[in-house]
Amino acid sequence: MLGYGELLAFERMAADARFAPDLHRRAVLSEMAALEITNYRRLADRLSSLGADPEAAMTPYVEPLRAYHDRTQPRDWLEALTKAYVGDSVADDFFREVAAFLGEPDRELVLEVLHDSRYGEFAAKEIRSAIELDPKLANRLSMWARRLIGEGLSQAQRVAADRPALAMLLVTGSGDQQGVQALLKRLTQAHGARMSAAGLNN
Under the rule (CB under 8 A), what is the footprint of a second copy? 4, 7, 10-11, 14-15, 17-18, 22-24, 26-27, 30-31, 33-34, 37-38, 40-41, 44, 54-55, 58
Nearer residue to a second copy within complex by CB, 62 or 160:
62
* Cβ-contact 80, 145 below 8 angstroms: no
Q: C-beta of 128: minimal distance to a second copy in Å? A: 23
In whole angstroms, how close is the CB of 31 to a second copy at the nearest point? Answer: 6
Distance CA 108, CA 180 (A): 22
Q: Within 10 A of 153 (CB to CB), how many other CB atoms are there?
A: 13
Between 19 and 95, name the residue whose CB sits nearer to a second copy: 19
Nearer to a second copy, 31 or 106 (CB): 31
**C-beta neighbour count of 70 within 10 angstroms:** 10
Q: How far is CA 61 from the centre of its chain?
A: 14
44 vs 200, beta carbon nearer a second copy: 44
Minimum distance between the CB of residue 165 and a second copy, rounded to whole angstroms?
21
Summarize the chain as % helix, strand, coil (round to 5).
Answer: 85, 0, 15
Is the CB of residue 120 less than 8 Å from the CB of residue 81? no
Q: At closest approach, how far in Å is the CB of 32 from a second copy? A: 10
